[in-house]
Amino acid sequence: MSSGNSRREDGVRHRLWENGVIQVLVPMAPPLLQMNGYVLRDEDGGLTVVDPGPRSRESEKVWEEVLRELGASWKAVKQIVVTHHHPDHYGLAGWLQEHSGCRVWMSKRAHAEAELMWGPASVMESALPAFFARHGMPPQQTAELKEHQAGIWPAISPQPEVSHVESARSFAMGGREWLPVETGGHAAGHLSFFHPGSGQLLCGDAVLPQISPNVSLLPGSDPEPLRTFMDGLSRLRELPARTAFPGHREPFGYFADRIDRLLLHHEERLDAAESLLADGPRSGYEVCGELFRGRITGIHQLRFAMSEALAHLVELERRGRAFLEEKNGEIRFFRIDGC
């Protein structure tokens, strides 16, 4: 078993873990800098790629080199599995499908989310800035956001033809049967894959070590993302996972403890969001600015911070600790006294 290091070492493109799980270190933009793809090999040499990464010339090169290092051709790639629709996991799937000719698998819900974000009928490029404007984001930043959204296309093109994983049935990868576990909140329809015999779990971004996975309220998507996320964590916690293989950072063994920490973190953030409403109603943008004070350095982070602050605010509303009111096209959140 290889030992973990959160930084990409020079020249290291993949690492071999127990039972032949191959971790592929794929470069991506700051702040994360790196994501993990995984490769599982069948006895006959056929490969399953889990989460190929975002598309860029650097990430393409990593896959070309890793396949060469594994002594495999494009045609050896028999299937591509995508845990969720985010560009840093899904982006290269179409490119890899073009080269290998194989199927790309996602959950039906994750595929619908990819369509919502980047399908031919998607209106997200204008819907998201408009949604954030209603929650108090100033025009300069909504304009920047629009530009940022448009800049995502190169990282996700071409888009793959997708087949749907059935959550109720086991899924074969690397000569083993894996149990798909569908959760949401970070990304609707997110799939993790658990192998009961070994306790190995490919968990994408559902649970990450060190990083708290972003939880997003987005227009047209799950209206209760934090509730969905926390429910998913509770279900994942039931799995007797020995080694979790995450989408970022290194594989880890303290899966249940990590989930407990994440659940606590969100309860604390709910308390913090609620206390920000103590002196009167606030917009989502104002709450976001306070909750993430000093940690937002650009539009990319602002987008995730804003959608996460809103996820917390609507959860407070769902729990009866806050309510919202829309006046003149602007939404504000109020604390419910006595709670």
Which residue ranges make up the site for Zn ion (CB under 5 A)?
86, 88, 205, 247
Q: In whole angstroms, how close is the CB of 32 to Zn ion at the nearest point?
A: 7
Q: How many angstroms separate the CA atoms of 235 and 229, rounded?
A: 10
7 vs 68, which CB is nearer to Zn ion?
A: 7
Residue 170's Cβ-side half-sphere holds a number of Cα atoms within 13 Å equal to 10
Q: In whole angstroms, how close is the CB of 192 to Zn ion at the nearest point?
A: 12
274 vs 308, which CB is nearer to Zn ion?
A: 308
Q: Are 149 and 125 in contact (CB under 8 A)?
A: yes
Of the candidates 11, 37, 40, the one whose C-alpha atom is nearest the C-alpha of residue 25 is: 37
Q: How many angstroms separate the CA atoms of 127 and 102, rounded?
A: 34
Q: How many angstroms separate the CA atoms of 185 and 101, rounded?
A: 32
Helical (H) or strand (E) element with 90: helix 87-90
Q: In whole angstroms, how close is the CB of 188 to Zn ion at the nearest point?
A: 11
205 vs 308, which CB is nearer to Zn ion?
A: 205
**CB atoms closer than 10 angstroms to residue 286:** 17
Q: In whole angstroms, how close is the CB of 96 to Zn ion at the nearest point?
A: 17
Q: In whole angstroms, how close is the CB of 31 to Zn ion at the nearest point?
A: 11
311 vs 322, which CB is nearer to Zn ion?
A: 311
51 vs 274, which CB is nearer to Zn ion?
A: 51
Tokens of 312: 């917390």
35 vs 76, which CB is nearer to Zn ion?
A: 35
Q: Are 321 and 274 in contact (CB under 8 A)?
A: yes
205 vs 274, which CB is nearer to Zn ion?
A: 205
113 vs 315, which CB is nearer to Zn ion?
A: 113
What secondary structure letter does DSSP report for 43? T
Q: In whole angstroms, how close is the CB of 271 to Zn ion at the nearest point?
A: 25
Residues 6+ apart with CB under 8 A from 26: 34, 35, 36, 37, 52, 53, 54, 59, 62, 63
Residues 6+ apart with CB under 8 A from 95: 52, 55, 60, 158
Q: How many angstroms separate the CA atoms of 3 and 233, rounded?
A: 26
Q: Are 248 and 205 in contact (CB under 8 A)?
A: yes
Q: In whole angstroms, how close is the CB of 81 to Zn ion at the nearest point?
A: 15
- What distances in angstroms separate CA 211 from CA 81, 158, 273, 312, 317, one per listed residue? 23, 29, 20, 17, 26
Residues 6+ apart with CB under 8 A from 239: 181, 194, 201, 255
4 vs 138, which CB is nearer to Zn ion?
A: 4
Q: In whole angstroms, how close is the CB of 315 to Zn ion at the nearest point?
A: 19
Q: In whole angstroms, how close is the CB of 89 to Zn ion at the nearest point?
A: 6
